Amino acid sequence: MDKEILFQQFVAFTTSVHEATFELTKNVKPEDITPLQYSILEYIAVSQPVTLSQISECKHISMPNTSRELRKLTEKQLCEKFEVPDDRRKQLIRLSESGQTMMNKAFQQIGTRFFERIQYLSAEDLDEIQHALAILQSKVFDANK
């Protein structure tokens, strides 16, 4: 096993993943929110409830900027802030009902495109894919976590 060749394959692979992500997600974001705001909403959607600090850390956005974008999102009624009882400095953030609806719609579009992509694959192919995803995630991508 030549590690140099594996590295090249890895680079090509991640490029393909980024491009596929682009294709699967293009145009799912409503006009009136920015890309950054959409990516924050995506994060909230899968991890809610979250604190501002979590968003800041996971999305690599400074606290002031996270605060600003979150203010805009709450102004647009897409998410809501809740006080946390045991620590009044913190805030828990969830999608609002309309935010949830919006993200459900987005995820559904992405899902549809994903299913189109895999529709011609056999059950064995799908098993193989599921196995490959698990292997790579545990041994390469989530390594050192």
The set of residues, in sequence order, having a beta carbon less than 8 Å from that of 20 and lying 6+ positions away, is: none
75 binds, among its own copies, DNA, none (CB under 5 to 8 A by kind): none
With binding defined as CB under 7 A, does residue 51 bind DNA? yes
Q: What is the DSSP string of 25-65?
A: HTT-S-TTS-HHHHHHHHHHHHH-SB-HHHHHHHTT--HHH
> Which residues between 3 and 32 bind its own copies (CB under 8 A)?
3-4, 6-7, 9-14, 16-22
> Which residues between 56 and 85 bind its own copies (CB under 8 A)?
60
The set of residues, in sequence order, having a beta carbon less than 8 Å from that of 43 and lying 6+ positions away, is: 50, 55, 58, 59
Q: Which is nearer to its own copies, 91 or 95 (CB)?
A: 95
31 binds, among its own copies, DNA, none (CB under 5 to 8 A by kind): none
> In terms of Cα–Cα distance, which of 77, 80, 120, 128 is closest to 98?
77
Looking at 76, 81, 94, 113, which residue binds DNA (CB under 7 A)?
A: 81
6 binds, among DNA, its own copies, none (CB under 5 to 8 A by kind): its own copies
Looking at the chain, the number of H-run helices and the number of E-run strands are 6, 2
Please choose, out of 20-28, 63-71, 120-128, 135-143, the segment that lies near DNA by the rule CB under 7 A: 63-71
